[in-house]
Structures are given as C-alpha cells and as structure tokens.
C-alpha cells in the first residue's frame, strides 16, 4: 500500500494517507469532506548503497569514534561494577 498525499478542496488541508494503489480520493481528516484529490509530491532522494571513497572514509571515521566511545563506556561500567557496592 502506497502513501499518497491529498488536498482537501473544501478546507485546503493537505495530508498523507496510506491507501490502496490507484486511490484518487479519501475523506478529509480535518473537515471530513469528500471533496479531496490526490496531489503529486516531490520524490525522495534515491537510496544508494554505493558510496564515494570520500563518503566511505567519513563513515569509517564516524564508526571508529562510536566504537571507541562504546568501549570507554563499557570499561567504566565494568570498573563501577567491581567496586564495593557497585551494580553487577
């Protein structure tokens, strides 16, 4: 089921609705009018699995920072757990 965008001709409300393919009109959410029409919205940017070398290096740096931060947090949590009265 696609998500279509609709425009109410009665109140001017613009809304999205999950409907069957080919649906041209649904009742307005705001005023319940049946005078709505499907409008075309801009397409989203296509998803790309292939990254440029620059994007790949940037993602690798970001992943390394996240790994380091996670490692530090894990070590601190283990140290706290080993202290008397610490959580295990």
Q: Domain of 28?
A: 3-39
| pLDDT one-digit tens code per residue, 9-44 | 999 999 999 999 888 889 999 999 999 999 987 777
Residue 46 lies in a domain: no
Please determine, for residue 88, whether its predicted confidence score (pLDDT) is greater than 60: no
Residue 45 lies in a domain: no
Whole-structure pTM value:
0.48
Residue 62 lies in a domain: yes
Query: Do 57 and 35 reside in the same domain of the chain?
Result: no
Task: Quote the pLDDT of residue 39.
Answer: 92
Query: Do 7 and 32 reside in the same domain of the chain?
Result: yes
Task: Quote the pLDDT of residue 45.
Answer: 77
Please determine, for residue 48, whether its predicted confidence score (pLDDT) is greater than 80: no
Question: Distance between CA 14 and CA 50 in Å, rounded?
Answer: 35
């Amino acid at each position: 089921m696609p998500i279509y965008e609709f425009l109410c001709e009665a109140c001017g409300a613009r809304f999205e609705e999950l409907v069957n393919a080919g649906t041209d009109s649904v009742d307005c959410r705001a005023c319940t009018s049946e005078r709505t029409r499907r409008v075309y919205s801009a397409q989203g940017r296509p998803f790309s699995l292939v990254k440029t070398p620059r994007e790949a290096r940037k993602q690798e740096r970001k992943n390394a920072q996240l790994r380091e931060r996670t490692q530090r947090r894990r070590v601190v949590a283990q140290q706290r757990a080993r202290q008397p009265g610490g959580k295990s």
